[in-house]
Amino acid sequence: MYPDIIAIGIPIMIACVVIEIIIDRRRATPRYRFNAAVSNMSCGSFEQVTSFISKGLFLALYVALYENFRVTTLQDGVAMFLLLVVAVDLVFYGFHRFSHRCALLWSGHMVHHEIEEFNLTVALRRSVMQEFTIIGVYLPFAVLGFSPALFFLAFAAHNLYQFLIHTSYLPEMRLLGKVFNTPYHHELHHCRNSVYIDKNFAGVLIIWDKLFGTFAPRTEAPEFGVDQLTHTLNPVKAQVTTLAAVLAETRRRKGLAAKLNALVGPPDYLGWTPAKAAPGEPAPVRPMFNPKLGAKDWWLVGLTFVAIAIATTVYRNAEPGLLTWHKLMAMLVFTVVLYGLGRLLDRPMANAHATAAPSIRADINGARP
């Protein structure tokens, strides 16, 4: 097996986030909210400590197919690695594009999109559910004969590259951007402007968007986020909030066809529908879920998160030598701590300093077809 470059890269990613925060503090219009950044990175920690389940399933299925059903044996090498990265990226493009138009898949992918900023911590805001749903689209590589070691190295490298494109502090890189996905391209994918919705799906190579008609150049100032409103900063609750809404809408609809459409059709019914303004009045302001932390909570959240970040780094590097029950116990402890941290992030929503969004059921009712 090749080294676990994700585990090795965690301290580097944290260092990059720290550098970006320092730069951001000097901007006239910062792109960081402390509570949102903690929520993003906590989602990443939660995904990392639960991923042994999805990774174990993924590896077991891949190895079984490779050993019993491969049609040929492809030898590891630099050229084969580069070919695999390109092929993985094409498959990722297709899955990513479909996950924006299938409500069930969107309920996992939404975790990554719901925060209304664009910075490196958003790259760490990962979905536990998506780690399972994405497995099936990559299994054909085992049948084609790509070794498990080389495939998972390419898969990890593909994920690491996508971390780097979640920043607005790098230049446009026009020449590189003709072929590769860059932060300049990718930040548009995280916008709710109508001209940017469902555009720039690429992971590494922007050529897929240009070939398949989903490329969008920058034509107007970006507005980050999606139509669906954020309802919690809790990294555990965020994993299931949209899934619960999709399942609730599926139960509500009558008839098999309508239920299937709610489950696997477009997730448009989840969007926020603002009340119409009276003639001559300005449009209603879009609410942002942004509870304000008090001074004591600020320090408690900060210290708790630092402890979680250190523990996650130590755990991920020690994980290969741990027994399954050790991993299950670690997952339980992390879940409880992260849920408690999320309660702190959400708690101020009850006081006068919080700007809370309406319930997700209200959004669905307002956007029913």
Does any domain span residue 294? yes
Does any domain span residue 84? yes
Domain that holds residue 141: 5-272+290-366
- Interhelix angle for 148-164 vs 34-69, to 10°? 160
Nearest to 234 by CA among 333, 117, 116, 115: 115
Cα distances (Å, whole numbers) of residue 228 to 253, 273, 360: 20, 9, 9
Does any domain span residue 278? no
Does any domain span residue 333? yes
pLDDT on residue 357: 38
pLDDT digits (tens, 9 = 90+) for 224-259: 999 899 999 999 999 999 999 999 999 999 999 999
pLDDT on residue 358: 37
Which tokens sit at 6? 């994700």
Does any domain span residue 285? no
Which tokens sit at 279? 């003639």
pLDDT on residue 354: 41
Please state the domain count of the chain. Answer: 1
| Cα–Cα distance measured from residue 296 to residue 276, given in angstroms and rounded to the nearest whole number | 40
Cα distances (Å, whole numbers) of residue 98 to 21, 91, 94, 201: 33, 11, 6, 10
Does any domain span residue 283? no
Residues in the chain: 369
Q: Positive or negative CA dihedral for 195, 201, 207, 212?
A: negative
Burial class (CB in 10 A: 0-12, 13-18, 19+), 21: middle
pLDDT on residue 4: 79
pLDDT mean values, one per 10 residues, the chain (369 residues): 78 89 86 92 94 94 97 95 97 97 96 93 95 96 97 94 93 93 96 94 97 96 91 95 96 96 94 74 79 87 93 90 94 97 81 40 35
